[in-house]
Amino acid sequence: MRENQHWTVEKELWVENRLGLHARPAAKIATTARQFDAEIILEKEGLEVNAQDLLDVLALDCPQGTRLVLRTRGPQAREAATSVTSLFARKFDES
C-alpha cells in the first residue's frame, strides 16, 4: 500500500562514522526525528523502520558502510530530511 503513496523526499544515506549506528547516533536520529511533524522512514535492504523508534533503528544493524534510504513525508518532510541528512553528514559529531 505504502509503495503507491507519494514521498516528499527519498534519498540515499551512507553510514560513515566508525562505529556505525550504535546507541548514541541512533538516539540522535530518534531525538531529531521526534522534533518534526513528519513521517520519517529509514530503509535498509528492504527493511523499513520509523526513525523515531530508537530500538528499531538499532535493530536495523547498520555498521560503518551501510547504505540506507531515507524517506519522509508530511507537513515538515523537507526540514526533517535536511536535519537527518545533516546528522549523517556530520557523522553524528563522532569520528
Partner 1 sequence: MTEQNRYFRGIPASPGIVIGPAHVLTQEGQVSTRLLYTQQEVAEELARFNHAVDQTEDELSRLKQEIAGDMKEHAHILELHLLILRDRMLLLETQKLIKEQNFNAERALYQAFLKIKEVFQRIGDKHIRGRIQDVEAVYRRLLGHLTGRGHTKSFEFPEPVIIVARDLSPAETTQMSSTQVMGFITERGGKTSHTAIIAHALEIPAVVGMDSATLEIESGELVIVNGLTGRVIINPDETVQHSYRVRKEEFEHFKMEVTQGSSLPAVTNDGHPNRVLANIELPEEVALAQKYGADGVGLYRTEFLYLRRRQLPSEEELFQHYRQAVEAMPSREVTIRTLDIGGDKFLSPLEYAPEMNPALGLRAIRFCLKEQKIFRTQLKAILRASAFGKVRIMFPLISSPRELREARVLLESVKEDLAREGVAFDGQLPVGAMIEVPAAVTLADLLVREADFFSIGTNDLIQYALAIDRGNKSVADMYEPLHPAVMRMVRDVVEVSRRAGIRVAMCGEMAGDPLYIPVLLGLGVEELSMNPTSIPVVKRVIRMTSLQEAREIARQALTLATVEEVNDYVSREMDLRFPDIFRFGRPLAVNVA
Residues that bind partner 1 (CB under 8 A): 19-24, 27, 30-31, 50, 53-56, 58-59, 61-63
**Shortest Cβ distance from residue 86 to partner 1 (Å)?**
20
**Shortest Cβ distance from residue 72 to partner 1 (Å)?**
18
Tell me, rounded to whole angstroms, the distance of Cα 70 from its chain centroid.
6
Q: Which is nearer to partner 1, 63 or 75 (CB)?
A: 63
**20: which 3 cell numbers?**
556505525
Contact 44, 62 (CB under 8 A): yes
Tell me how far apart the alpha carbons of residues 25 and 62 are, in angstroms, rounded to a whole number: 11
Q: Which is nearer to partner 1, 55 or 89 (CB)?
A: 55
Question: What residues are labeled active site?
Answer: 22
